[in-house]
Amino acid sequence: MPRDGVDFASNDYLGLAGSPRMIAAVRAALDRGVPVGAAASRLLRGNEPEQETFEAEAAAFFGAEAALGFGGGYVANFAALSTLPQRGDLILMDDLSHASTHEGARAGRAQVASFQHNDVQHAVDRIAAWRKDGGRGAVWLSVESLYSMDGDVAPLDDLAAVADEEGFLLVDEAHATGVFGPEGRGLAHHLEGRENVVTLHTLGKALGGSGALVCGARALIDFLVNRARPFIFATAPSPLMAAAGREALTILRDEPERREALQSRIALFGSELARRLPQLRPSGSQIVPLIVGGDAETMQLAEAVQARGFDLRGIRPPTVPQGTARLRVSLTLNASEDDIRRLVETLEDLWPAS
């Protein structure tokens, strides 16, 4: 479906994708000789200095020992989950983990299981049962810090405590990077730098570019360099995206007002929703799921909202569980406060009678 209407569908949370500073950074990179394409894998001729500089700056920004760039969040998640856990280990993922997590886990050598969404005790129980059945390896807890379809937050401190006893914690920060934490460092920023914590930060959402980074202990990142097939056998990401990523991190430091403005929009949407559609609950983040239920009803409602000038998409199974089809509201700086008020008025007018 083409772009049309006010943006309530993209992940360009801070409005950086088309910002003058990002455009100027890419132009400046071209002017100083940074190529458009890497033209080879990183282990052959594709290891551009711009990418290495960006990885070093990003690792320092997020607080990790090292960082490794990939072409996108999906492939970065896939690489980490299919490579780092070893035979005899257990990957234990949240039920609502992203598809890339599921695919990466299945492609690896470790056993795979899941636990109920954000239920740490259930995770502990699953680990205990695995140990009782003879499991002796490390446990790799895999979660999102901010869930992409529900907009809620993982209990990271409790999960980190379990990981300290059992193995490792992998945190997908895709939707938190740039939005939450000091200077947009993410919800897991206080865990970065631990030897048993691996994080993923995407460049294609709040940072306005394309690609992703896996951050963690240098030994783990070096292992990915030498063992991760999606890294070894893929053409390296465009060096221009490394230049864009460097500028995005600078903008996060220079322009805190972007995050402040987004938080104001999140609060406004919540208050307008409480006033006009109190049966629907805000998530507290920039991602707000408005559960309709039925697939057909959801898509019909999405079309009606789109006809009023808003780019708001319906989400249905298998992306979300059966019976939870929804409108996924994504709040960004591309929509004004007046746009938010008009959207909630429209939703009040069109929402199906119970």
Which residues are tagged catalytic?
11, 98, 144, 148, 172, 175, 205
Cα–Cα distance measured from residue 49 to residue 75, given in angstroms and rounded to the nearest whole number = 22
One-letter amino acid identity for 41?
S
H or E element, residue 199: strand 197-202
Burial of 38 (0-12, 13-18, 19+ CB in 10 A): buried
Minimal CA–CA distance to 25: which of 178, 247, 252?
247
Q: How many angstroms separate the CA atoms of 341 and 237, rounded?
A: 39
Distance CA 216, CA 213 (A): 10
Identify the CA nearest to 273 among candidates 337, 325, 345, 352. 345
Angle between helices 73-83 and 218-227 (to 10 degrees): 100
Separation of first and last alpha carbons in the chain: 29
Residue 53: closest CA among 256, 234, 241: 241
Task: Give the number of other CB atoms < 10 A from CB of residue 353.
Answer: 3
DSSP state of 308: T
Contact by Cβ (8 Å): 89, 139? yes
**Which residue is it, tokens 């209990």?**
155
Quick one: residue 21, left, alpha or beta (phi over 0 = left, psi -120 to 50 = alpha)? alpha
Q: DSSP assignment, residue 354?
A: -
Q: Amino acid identity, residue 296?
A: A
Q: Which residues pair with 167 in a beta bridge?
A: 139
Q: How far apart are CA 270 and CA 263, in angstroms?
A: 11
Q: What is the dihedral of CA 135, 155, 262, 100, to 10 degrees?
A: 10
